[in-house]
Chains A and B, each alone.
Chain A
Amino acid sequence: MQLKQKKSPLKKCVEFIESSKLKFSESEKAYPTRDQIKGYDIIEESFHTIPSLDKDTKKIGFVDGGSSPLITSSDLNISFNRVAGCIFKGQNPIELSNIPTIIEYYTATIIDVQEDGKLKFIIKSFPREEDHREYIPDELIFFINDKSIREQFGYLPKIEQMGGIVMRFSEWIYGKHLIESELDNGDIFIRDGSLQTGYTNEIKEAEKLFSIGSKKNIYITGLSKSCRLITDKGNSLVSVVNAIGNNKFPESPWYFYPSFRITRADNQADVYFVKLHRHATHSFRFDIFLEQSQALKEEDKEIIISNIAYNSTDLSFPGYPYGLIKVDQLARISMRELDSQKIALLSEFDQDIYKSFILPRLRSMDAHDIINKIRK
């Protein structure tokens, strides 16, 4: 008699996924997740090869930021932030001549109460070098009930995220300076991520960047490492696009357009999907500022994408722009430097004040760390 083998729970999980996700549908369409987003059919005709760049090499400016909390309680936070930029012409780096490559600053956040009883986050920024003040917002205020900073399910925002929010603002501000001072007519600006803004007043800083970009005819773009967009059949949009693109152009880089057109006030973008190198394992969402994209001719769009593809031949990550790898590395805050920053910060406190007022507050948040330390 043969024993009937019992299926493991994991096996059941896998079977469930396999039953619905092995094949893509014949015809799928980008699924608009919000209003004022138009999704397009994913059809073979929308896939095009990226022409190789044999002339017209543009300068490409890249910007990225990093942020990490140094101390946090439920009512105060100090974070360390960094924004970095670089420029490449084709595959060659160009030194920034008018603005610094790296901006570093601290943000201090407290919760204050207004006369009418409303609570608000007050975030002040302190550059490590006074000359860098122009690249960061001096002070930001968010009411605690501001929807743009709320957590999922409407929970109160975490105070330690305020540093990261300021960093978003400073990325736009720094990017504006980069476009203004370092790039010329026809050049390209790429930020890490989409062109989406979300936090209250963030769009104001983004619009300054869009405005100077349009004025100088510098193309404003964003490349997203990850993409949560889906199709109307519930599949991962980037996966569907990847499968069709690779099937049509197995030996060359390609782009897919149109996919989405976003015409929201906080996000105006034409969304492309690009595979920037034939050996690339990933394709990415690529946004071009809507106003510029609509005005571009087909060949101009291809010049932009070809320029970015030309910068995406680094062996460490084929198909991903090296400029973004570089700014990521420049802006990243390592755990090692975080430790030394924490020590420097703690040494600045008056010891009596620290013991009486700060330490008790920090204990509201640090029990988890203690558990982590005693866990083997």
Chain B
Amino acid sequence: MTNLGDKIGSFVAGSLNRLVVRKKSDQLFELGQLFVAGSSFDDYSIYQIKDLIYGSQIPENALELMAGYNLEREATDLRVYEPELRNYVLGIVKPLTNIKNKSLFLPKKLPTFFAEIFDIEDDHLDFFEKPENPITFGKIRSGSKILNTEVKLEGPKVLRHHILIPATTGRGKSNLVKVILYNLIENHKCGKLVFDPHNEYYGTAKVKGLKEHPNSSKYLDFYTIRDIPGKLDLRFNVNLLNPWHIMGTLDITTPQSDALILYYRQYGDEWIQSIFNDSLGTPEGVGEVTQSVLRRKLAVLLDFGFDTEENIIENGIYTLDGYETTVENIIRSLLEGKTVIIDTSLFSGKEEIFIATIITENLFRRYKSLKFRDELEDKPVITIILEEAPRVIGKKVLEVRDNIFGQIAREGRKFKIGLIGITQLPSLIPREILANMNTKIILGNEMGPERNILIESSAQDLSDDSQTIASLDIGEAIITSHLTKFAIPIKIPLFEDLIQGEKNSSKIKEHSPGF
């Protein structure tokens, strides 16, 4: 048999989906480690360690007694003879893929008895192709060992079919999104719309962000109410609003919803102003009490105040004059493949959703219209980054009233719009939407029920990976996607390292698995 590399063990038992390998005594086995076995570089398979157990030729009670001698007796000359033969580590492993002449197949054959296994090397990953418009996630990881092969997927395809990034706090979600956006910033085939509730993506004096990209001035728009050089004003003319934006944000009764629609029908673009204008009266069928409640709720939402003469004072980002083109400008930038960051960190949750709804709904409407006119084909795919995604695509939210994000999650890919949903609690997202999120970048998660939800909705069989997911360290992840042939363990680079160019690009192989 052709030697595939450094021998680290051999198969000893098991079934196709649960093979048992014995570790060579001087080697190391780790959870999630990848290795290869096969006859040659033209025909081999990649396997992954799913669990590790002790093996011994010595009965268990004798082992316990042996430990007792070491623990309870003073200096003793007793020892374990031939420990390398008698006590060992067994790995429970699963085949990931079979590679024949650089083509990938599902594994269907058992390796030969006692077949030797070899540590995985970059040469074994030569079958990966380089996508035309890559989205880079990180490098392939074998246990805790990082290979040089980068994991790149075809950006527009992946983004269009939605991405879910589930993880508990501190496992590197924000870092991952920054890395993805940084790597995509010049990719004009993808427009990136980021709603940033923590003001962490653009970058501040203390925290590095996308503005560090050498071409950020060309490819990055930053909308905020902060006074920062190079920023764009996050202000909207109220004419951009429609009743459904309000309904998607506020808890209002049916008569109040009906009233909003009646105002909208009667006054068109000026419908908000008309609610606050006493001289116009109320549309037919709308009571004064309803009008009064709507005024109060809208004033709070739009941050309107009133002077002594009951004139509107604009305290927030909504204005009665000017800023009619803010949303249009955002959409135009996205159509150019730019990254647009909306800094919502200074708003309440409801305000933030309101802003996101206004922009997203206009964007979706535009793309629908482009599709209707058969002009969508050459337009970039748009991805919308949503932090704490269950706030807009959670079961409870969608049960009360469907919204634009739920709609995009279900049918956005038809219109080249996808979501990147970030959450700690994927279980709050309806199964149908979870299943639609075709690529999942799973970071560490200690919560068993959350892991189970992810495993059940993954594109690949991750049924043996619960423990692996729990033990993923910061920056370690598993990518599962219908665009890859197997779930790929990756190491995400630290954003600060990425922008400092610490990666040794000359050594990195640019490959993409799966296509």
Contacts and interface: CB of A to CB of B under 8 A. Distances in A.
A57 to B, nearest CB: 14
Interface string A272-316: 000001010000000000000000000000000000000001111
Interface of B is mostly: loop
B81 A329 contact: no
Contacts of B62: 316-317
A99 B286 CA distance: 105
B57 interface: yes
Contacts of B69: 279, 315, 318
B14 to A, nearest CB: 15
B76 interface: yes
A250 interface: no
A277 B79 CA distance: 12
Nearest to A319: B78
Interface string A165-203: 000000000000000000000000000000000000000
A315 B57 contact: no
B80 A315 contact: yes
Contacts of B77: 313
A54 to B, nearest CB: 12
Contacts of A322: 81
A277 B81 contact: no
Interface in A316-355: 316-318, 322, 325-326, 329
A146 B65 CA distance: 46
A268 interface: no
B78 A314 contact: yes
A348 B69 CA distance: 50
B66 interface: yes
B310 interface: no
Interface size class of A (residues with CB under 8 A): 10 to 19
A269 B66 CA distance: 34
Interface string A246-281: 000000000000000000000000000000010100
Contacts of B57: 329
B346 interface: no
A326 B83 CA distance: 12
Given A91-B81, A313-B79, A326-B82, A279 B73 contact: yes
B70 interface: yes
B252 interface: no
Contacts of A91: 79, 81
B300 interface: no
B81 to A, nearest CB: 4
A93 B82 contact: yes
Nearest to B70: A315
Contacts of A93: 81-82
A332 to B, nearest CB: 11
A277 B82 contact: no
Contacts of B73: 279
B84 to A, nearest CB: 11
Interface in A13-60: none
A316 B76 contact: no
B106 interface: no
Contacts of A314: 78-81
B28 interface: no
A65 to B, nearest CB: 19
B78 A315 contact: yes
A316 B80 CA distance: 7
Interface in A135-155: none
Scoring A315, A318, A329 by chain B CB atoms within 10 A of each residue's CB, the highest score goes to A315
B498 interface: no
A315 B58 CA distance: 10
Nearest to B82: A93
Given A279-B73, A279-B76, A329-B57, A315 B82 contact: no
Contacts of A325: 81
Nearest to A277: B78
Nearest to A325: B81
Contacts of A279: 69, 73, 76, 78
A91 B78 CA distance: 11
Contacts of B58: 316
A168 to B, nearest CB: 26
A332 B283 CA distance: 97
Interface string B28-72: 000000000000000000000000000001100011011001100
10 contacts: A279-B73, A313-B77, A314-B79, A314-B80, A314-B81, A315-B78, A316-B63, A316-B65, A318-B78, A326-B82
Interface of B: 57-58, 62-63, 65-66, 69-70, 73, 76-82
Given A279-B73, A313-B78, 20 more contacts: A91-B81, A277-B78, A313-B77, A314-B78, A314-B79, A314-B80, A314-B81, A315-B66, A315-B69, A315-B80, A316-B58, A316-B62, A316-B63, A316-B65, A317-B62, A318-B69, A318-B78, A322-B81, A325-B81, A326-B82
10 interchain residue pairs of minimum CB distance: A315-B66, A322-B81, A314-B81, A316-B62, A316-B58, A315-B78, A313-B78, A313-B77, A315-B80, A318-B78
